[in-house]
Structure 1
Amino acid sequence: MAGALALAFLAVSVFASTATAQQTRQPRNLIELFFGTREQRYPEPPPPRKVKPPRPVKKQTKSVTSITTAPEPPPPAPKIDNARKVLVVGDFVADGLATGLTEAFLASPGVVIDERSNGSSGLVRTDYYDWQAELPAMIAEAKPAIVIIDIGANDRQQMVTASGKLNFRTEEWFQEYERRVTAFGKIVTDAKIPLLWVGLPAFRPQNMTADALTLNTVYRRAVERIGGEFIDVWDGFVDQEGRFIITGSDINGQQVRLRGTDGINLTAAGKRKLAFYVEKSARRLLGDMTSPDLVRLDASNLPELINLPPSEIQNIVKTQPMDLFDPELDGATELLGAAPLPVAATPTPRDQLVKNGTLPPPPSGRVDDLRAPGTETLQK
C-alpha cells in the first residue's frame, strides 16, 4: 500500500513538472509535440553588460600669449626723383584705368601715374568741361612721357555746334565728333608725346554697348590718322559670342566679378584688367624705366667674366659683342659658309670614288677590311 502511494505521488510530480514546462514554452512543430523539445547544443549567450562610458577628461587650456599672423608684404619702393610720368585723362573709365595702372607699376620706381580725369566729362558737352582747353595746361605742368586718353562713355547725347544742334547717331553728328576726336588727339601728337587712346568696353545696356562699338570705330580711324596708337579692350569684357559679361577672367585667368551692379562701372579686378591691355604698350614706350631695379648693363657696369691668372689672360683674344639685329657691326658682310671651302691637297674618298670609280682600301684592322693578314705588304 505504501509503495502504491509513492508511485502515485511520483507520477503526479512528473505530470506537474511537464505541465509547467508546457505552460512556459509551447511546442513549435509536430516533431516537438510528439518527441519533445531538443536540447540546445550551445548555451544562449549571456546578456550584454552595461558598461559605463568613461568620464570625460578636462583638457587644460593654456593662455595664448602671442598670435601668429601672415607677414605683411613689403612696401613698394619709393619713386625716384626723375621718374617718368604717365598722364591719364578722360571720364570715369579713365579714372578706373589710372587705378589699374597705378597697381601695375607699383613695383616700378621709375614710373608715376598722373591721373587727371573728370567722371562726367566728354567731348560733346564743352560747356560742362572743355578738354581741348584744359589738356595743354595739364601737359605743360606734368611734362608726361606718355599721354593715355580714355573718354566717350558720356558722349551719347545731342551736340551743340555753332551751326545748330546735332542729334546723336546722325551722319552730321559723327562727322563733327570725329573732328573733335582728331583735334583732341593732335594736342598730344603735336607736342611730340606718344599717344595711347583706349577704346570703350562693353556695357550692360544693349543700346549703350552698340553705341560704344560704333564710337570705337571712330576713335581707331582718327587716332591712327594722327600717329597715335589705339588700344582695343573689347574682347576682355564680352563672352565668346560678343555679349556683355559681369563675371569673367582676370589677368591671372581666375573667374572674378569685373563690373559693378549697374553694369557700367568697373570693379577693382575690372580696373586691373583694363590696365592690363594698356600696360604692354606703355612699358614698350617707357623703356628701361619700368624695370624694378633700374639696372642697365653697358660698358661701364658689365661684370668681370674673366678670372684667370695674369699669365693666361694675355693669351685670350677679346672681341666686341655682335649685335644679333645688325651683323655688319662685327666687320663681316657675309654669313658663315658663304665662301667656298678650300681645296684639300689629298683627294677625299668621295673624290676618288667620283674620279676613279673605286674607293681607297680601308685601313688595316677596320671592320670592312676583308684582306687576309700579311697581304698588306704584297698589295703595296
Structure 2
Amino acid sequence: MRLRSLVIVLCAACLLLLTGGPVSLAQQQPRQQRSLFQLFWQLPAQPQQAQPQQRPRSAPVRRREAPVVVRDDPVIPKVDVAHHVVVMGDSLANLLANGLDDALNNRPDVAVLHKAKPDSGLVRTDFYDWPKTAAEILAGEQKLSIGVMLVGLNDRQPIREGETVHEPMSPRWLELYRDRIDMIAGAFAEKRVPLIWVGAPPVQNGRLSADFVTFNELYRQRVEKAGGHYVDLWGGFVDAENRYAATGPDVSGQPVRLRLGDGIHFTAAGARKAAHFVDLVIRRIIEAAPQNGIVALPVSPETGAPTDLELQPGGVERLIDQMVAGLPTLGLPPALQARPLAGPIQPLTGQSAAAGQPLIASIAEARGGGDAALRLERVFGQGIAPDPVPGRIDDHRWPR
C-alpha cells in the first residue's frame, strides 16, 4: 500500500512538472491546448515569419492656387486727367457737384473741382464775392476746361449801392444783379473757357419759386449773350401741372424722393438727376473740342462771343427763319437758299401772334359742343361708360 501510494505521488509530481505546474487566477491567460503527444515528443513549432510593416502612404501634396477675386465694379484703367470741371455756387451747387462725380464716374479723364460756397450768392458781395472769386479761379495755376454755376437760393435780399438800399426785384435791383451775372460770364468768355449756367430749380415756397423764374430768365439771357450755355432744371422737378414735386422719376425712371424735407435741397437721387442734365452738356462740349489743339474763332472784343451769326446762340434758327421768309442768306449755296431745309420753329406753349390765343387748344375746346361733346366728356372726363346698345358686345342682357 505504501509503495502504491508513493508511485501515485511520484506520477502526480511528474505530471505537474510536465504540464508546467498549477496556474493561478491572476495568470489566467489564453494558452494553446497541447496534446500529450506534443508534450512527450516536443515537436518544434514552425517559426512565424514576421510580416513586413507597410509604411503609410503620404497624401499627395497639392499646390495652392491663387484665389480668384470676382469684382462687381469694372476695373477702369488709370488715365491722366485731361479736363477739369469747376463747380461754383451755393449749397445746391455743392450737391450738384456730388451728382456730377457720380455721373462722370466712367470718365476718368474728367475731374470735378468743388468750389461751391454754402449761403453764398450774387447779392451779398461782402460775405462772398463771386465775380471776384471766379476771376481768381480762372487766373489760378489749374487749367480749367469747363465752368458750372448754380446760384440764386440766397439772392432774394436787398442790394446796397452806396447809401441806397434797393429792394429785391425792383428795376434797379435787377440791373445790378444783371451786371454781376455779366461779370462772371465775361470772365469765362475772356479766358475762352465754356461756362454752363444752371437755372435754379423750383422749391416748395411758391413766392421764392416765382422769383426763381425771373432769375432764370436773366441767367439765360446774359449767359447766352456771352457765348455760354444755359441748362434748365425746372421741368425735371415739377409734376404734370408744373408745380413743385418732392418725388418723381430718377435717372433710371424709378419713382424716388428727389428733395429733402426742407423743400429746397436735393437728395442723393435728386442731385444725380440734376447732374444728368449738366452731364449731357459737359460731354457734348468735350467731344466737340478739337483733339490736337484749340482753333481760335473770331469773337467780339467786348463780350467774347462769336461774331459769326451762325455760331451765336440761336444762329441756326435765325437762318431757317430767313430762308422761310424768302430773305437772302449769306454764306449758303444757292440750292439751299432756293429750297429751305425746314420750316420755322414755333413754341407749342406760346401765344399766337395774330389772335393772342394759345397755340395748343384745351381739351374742352378740342371736343367742341353739342351732344357728341357731352358724350365724350361723360366717357373720357367723368369715366362713365356709355349705355349699352342692343346687339353690341357691351349688351349683357339675357335672353337676347
Q: TM-score range by the shorter chain?
A: 0.5 to 0.7
Partner of 2:192: 192
Partner of 1:169: 169
Instruction: Let me know the Cα RMSD of the aligned residues.
Output: 2.1
After TM superposition, what 4+ stretches of structure 1 lie above 4 angstroms from structure 2?
A: none
How many Å apart are 1:142 and its aligned residue? 2.5
Alpha-carbon distance between aligned partners in 1 of 2:245 and 2:185, rounded to the nearest angstrom: 30
How many Å apart are 1:133 and its aligned residue? 1.6
Contact 2:80-2:108 within 8 A present in 1 as well: no
Alpha-carbon distance between aligned partners in 2 of 1:78 and 1:133, rounded to the nearest angstrom: 38
Partner of 2:86: 87
Partner of 1:102: 101
Deviations 1:266-297 (A, max 9, x none): 000000000011111100111289xxxx9xxx
TM-score normalised over the length of structure 1: 0.56
Partner of 1:249: 249
How many Å apart are 1:136 and its aligned residue? 2.0
The aligned amino acid for 1:77 is I
SS of the aligned residue for 1:117 comes to coil
Alignment of 1:58-207 (within 5 A): 73-74=72-73, 77=76, 80-139=79-138, 140-162=140-162, 164-207=164-207
How many Å apart are 1:81 and its aligned residue? 2.6
Alpha-carbon distance between aligned partners in 1 of 2:288 and 2:229, rounded to the nearest angstrom: 20
How many Å apart are 1:154 and its aligned residue? 0.6
Alpha-carbon distance between aligned partners in 1 of 2:77 and 2:147, rounded to the nearest angstrom: 22
- The verdict on how the C-alpha distance between 1:250 and 1:76 changes in structure 2, with shifts beyond 3 A counting, is farther
The aligned amino acid for 2:188 is V
**Which has the higher relative contact order, 1 or 2, with Cα contacts under 8 A spaced 6 or more apart?**
1
SS of the aligned residue for 2:141 comes to helix
How many Å apart are 1:75 and its aligned residue? 6.1
Alignment of 1:298-377 (within 5 A): none
Aligned residues: 222
Alpha-carbon distance between aligned partners in 2 of 1:79 and 1:266, rounded to the nearest angstrom: 31
How many Å apart are 1:221 and its aligned residue? 0.9
TM-score normalised over the length of structure 2: 0.53
Deviations 1:13-44 (A, max 9, x none): xxxxxxxxxxxxxxxxxxxxxxxxxxxxxxxx
SS of the aligned residue for 2:88 comes to strand
SS of the aligned residue for 1:142 comes to coil
Unaligned runs of 5+ in 2: 1-68, 292-400
Alpha-carbon distance between aligned partners in 2 of 1:208 and 1:200, rounded to the nearest angstrom: 10
Contact 1:79-1:111 within 8 A present in 2 as well: no
Task: Tell me whether 107-116 or 159-168 shows the greater mean CA deviation.
Answer: 159-168
How many Å apart are 1:72 and its aligned residue? 5.2
The aligned amino acid for 1:194 is P
Deviations 1:298-318 (A, max 9, x none): xxxxxxxxxxxxxxxxxxxxx
Task: Tell me whether 155-164 or 105-114 shows the greater mean CA deviation.
Answer: 155-164
Contact 1:87-1:142 within 8 A present in 2 as well: no
Alpha-carbon distance between aligned partners in 2 of 1:87 and 1:199, rounded to the nearest angstrom: 17
Contact 1:86-1:147 within 8 A present in 2 as well: yes
The aligned amino acid for 1:167 is E
Alignment partner of 1:229 is 2:195: no
How many Å apart are 1:225 and its aligned residue? 1.1
Alpha-carbon distance between aligned partners in 1 of 2:77 and 2:166, rounded to the nearest angstrom: 49
Partner of 1:62: none
Identity of aligned residues (%): 38
Alpha-carbon distance between aligned partners in 2 of 1:203 and 1:182, rounded to the nearest angstrom: 25
Contact 2:94-2:118 within 8 A present in 1 as well: yes
The aligned amino acid for 2:98 is T
The aligned amino acid for 1:254 is Q
How many Å apart are 1:76 and its aligned residue? 5.8
Contact 1:247-1:255 within 8 A present in 2 as well: yes
